[in-house]
Structure 1
Amino acid sequence: MTKWNLIIDVEKCEDCNNCFLACKDEHVDNDWPGYAISQPRHGHRWINIMRKERGQYPIIDVAYLPIPCMHCDVAPCIKAAKDGAVYKRDDGIVIIDPEKAKGQEDIIKACPYDAIWWNEEKRVPQKCTFCAHLLDDGWKEPRCVQACPTGAIRAVRAKNRHMKATAASENLQVLYPQYNTTPRVYYKNLYRFTRCFIGGSVAYEKGGVTDCAEGARVSLIKGSEKVSEVVTDNFGDFKFDNLAEESGRYALEIVFKEYDKKTLEIDLKTSLSLGTITL
């Protein structure tokens, strides 16, 4: 049977919050019997966008990570709920029954992604429903997907084997695989949020003039292994991304025209901007 999945491209998210606003528009002051009671106007973020700044001046980037309910196949919230108050549908969507779940605040604590919210007024846990009420009415995608202007969020209904093949071909990852919950939300370019980079600029001096070293070969070496090699652009800039934080010592080797090779030793803890390296 086909099941619903979300694919979120971290590189395409611009933190516009259209997805968040569309969710509010759909669920605030609206009861969807059997799916969810109305979402509070303030406090809840059924799709919560996290923000991370990497690097230091002059090389800095910012990534945004939308986190909805992961609709896990091995969902801790289902195990924590009493009387079947949380269940997984045949199409993969996890639903909190708004009647059965009343008073069950422990359901919130069971989610390792902090994707479940407590409605104090109604005394019920709530979360993203994948807009199941709309899908059951014939919609092709939930509101967050429809509202995203950059195409950062996609809804895919596919058999498990086809989704596995898509994940492999597009290099998709799940968030925090160590939780062992088998999420149905996949991320593209997740390294932009979870990993780090080494970047800098190469310049050279000639005839008393300092200029950008376009076309310099910059190699990143760990131990005896060359991790990667890049060529500087016309501004002399280079960047090695998708490196593990706290990954230890690296050597950076720069080769440019007739200039002597330059080697820098780096102890990588988090994203690092090396500034201008003059040959």
Structure 2
Amino acid sequence: MKVFTVDLSVCNGCYCCQIACKDEHVVNDWTPYAKPQPDTGQFWIGLTEKVRGHVPHVRVSYVPFLCNHCDDAPCIEECKVDAIYKRDDGIVIIDPEICTGCKLCADTCPHNSIYFNEQLNIAQKCTGCSHLLDNDEEWTVPRCVDQCPTEALKFGEEEDFADFIKDAELLNPEAGTKSRVYYKGLPKKFIAGTLYDPTEKEVIIGATCTLTDEESGLKFTETTTNFGDFWFKELQDDRSYSLTFEKDGVKQTIAGIKTDIDRGLGDIAMDMAAK
């Protein structure tokens, strides 16, 4: 069965996947796979762009999202007219000729991946470009995958991606729908800042920074760079940390730093003369 894999470490936010999907489906009628996608309001594959942290410690994350083609798809179970079905290759299709426009599937989808076309009175979503896979031997992947310049987005047989999948995550695992879209590099929280000496008016290079989980006691260590910067990445959500700086006998601690958001702490003063 087919899967999509998304490696966010090489996704550069170019939007080629989103544009390719629009190019393939807007105006074009691929019945019985799909009626034309509206030119606005629907993104059968879309890209979320989020600015994280606080200036100057900022990161931008890009996450493509699409129908999860779930093995336990609640939309299939909820559909009263059997318009939604799962193909043998794992792709979930909404038959536009059977759909009655009741909106139950869109209301049921926990991934918010089903859209409603008011003009046509039908539900619509990603088809995995099944019209290409079934009818053109030259096409082995959907348009979005074909157009991804960094190969962050891939598509193929599940067994061929076994190594990727064993270390991958789901975008919305709490839904429990057995998604067939796997991610690596999903954004995790970070704590960052710049350490400086207010007396010397210089950044502090080579200071030891120890981040401690205030609940578990787990510790992480970094060293300030030539710019006085430190970054603690891949942190758990909604945790409370204390951060200790040490250099040449001077020690300073900040407590109660929470990862409910990405924390850019800005400039942090540590007077190296205060020994």
Same fold, TM exceeding 0.5? yes
* TM-score relative to the length of structure 2: 0.89
* Alignment match, 1:189: 185
- Give the Å deviation of 1:270: 1.8
* Alignment match, 1:135: 133
Q: Where do residues 4-153 of structure 1 align in structure 2 (5 Å cutoff)?
A: 4-136=2-134, 137-138=136-137, 139-153=139-153
Bigger shift: 118-127 or 150-159?
A: 150-159
Q: Which amino acid aligns with 2:112?
A: D
Instruction: Write the deviation string for residues 102-124 of structure 1: whole angstroms up to 9, x where unpaired.
Output: 33321211111111111122211
Q: Secondary structure at 2:250's aligned position in 1?
A: coil
The runs of 5 or more residues in structure 2 that have no matched partner are 271-275
Q: Aligned partners of 2:89 and 2:201: how far apart in 1?
A: 62
Q: Aligned partners of 2:33 and 2:4: how far apart in 1?
A: 19
Contact 2:17/2:46 (8 A) holds in 1: no
* Alignment match, 2:243: 252
Aligned length: 266
* Alignment match, 1:178: 174
Q: Secondary structure at 1:61's aligned position in 2?
A: strand
Q: Which amino acid aligns with 2:81?
A: D
Alignment of 1:218 with 2:209, yes or no, is: yes
Q: Aligned partners of 1:188 and 1:202: how far apart in 2?
A: 31
- Give the Å deviation of 1:45: 1.1
Contact 2:75/2:109 (8 A) holds in 1: yes
Instruction: Write the deviation string for residues 44-66 of structure 1: whole angstroms up to 9, x where unpaired.
Output: 11112223222112211121221
Q: Secondary structure at 1:12's aligned position in 2?
A: coil
Contact 1:219/1:226 (8 A) holds in 2: no
- Give the Å deviation of 1:5: 1.1
Instruction: Write the deviation string for residues 68-120 of structure 1: whole angstroms up to 9, x where unpaired.
Output: 10101110110111232111111111111111113332121111111111112
- Give the Å deviation of 1:255: 2.1
Alignment of 1:233 with 2:200, yes or no, is: no
Q: Aligned partners of 1:32 and 1:228: how far apart in 2?
A: 53
Q: Which amino acid aligns with 1:147?
A: Q
Identity of aligned pairs, percent? 40
* Alignment match, 2:257: 267
Q: Which amino acid aligns with 2:253?
A: T
- Give the Å deviation of 1:163: 4.4
Contact 2:209/2:244 (8 A) holds in 1: yes
Q: Secondary structure at 1:209's aligned position in 2?
A: coil
* Alignment match, 2:268: 277
Contact 1:245/1:271 (8 A) holds in 2: no
Q: Aligned partners of 1:232 and 1:90: how far apart in 2?
A: 53
* TM-score relative to the length of structure 1: 0.88
- Give the Å deviation of 1:165: 4.0
Q: Aligned partners of 1:45 and 1:172: how far apart in 2?
A: 24
Contact 2:17/2:45 (8 A) holds in 1: yes
Q: Aligned partners of 1:40 and 1:135: how far apart in 2?
A: 22
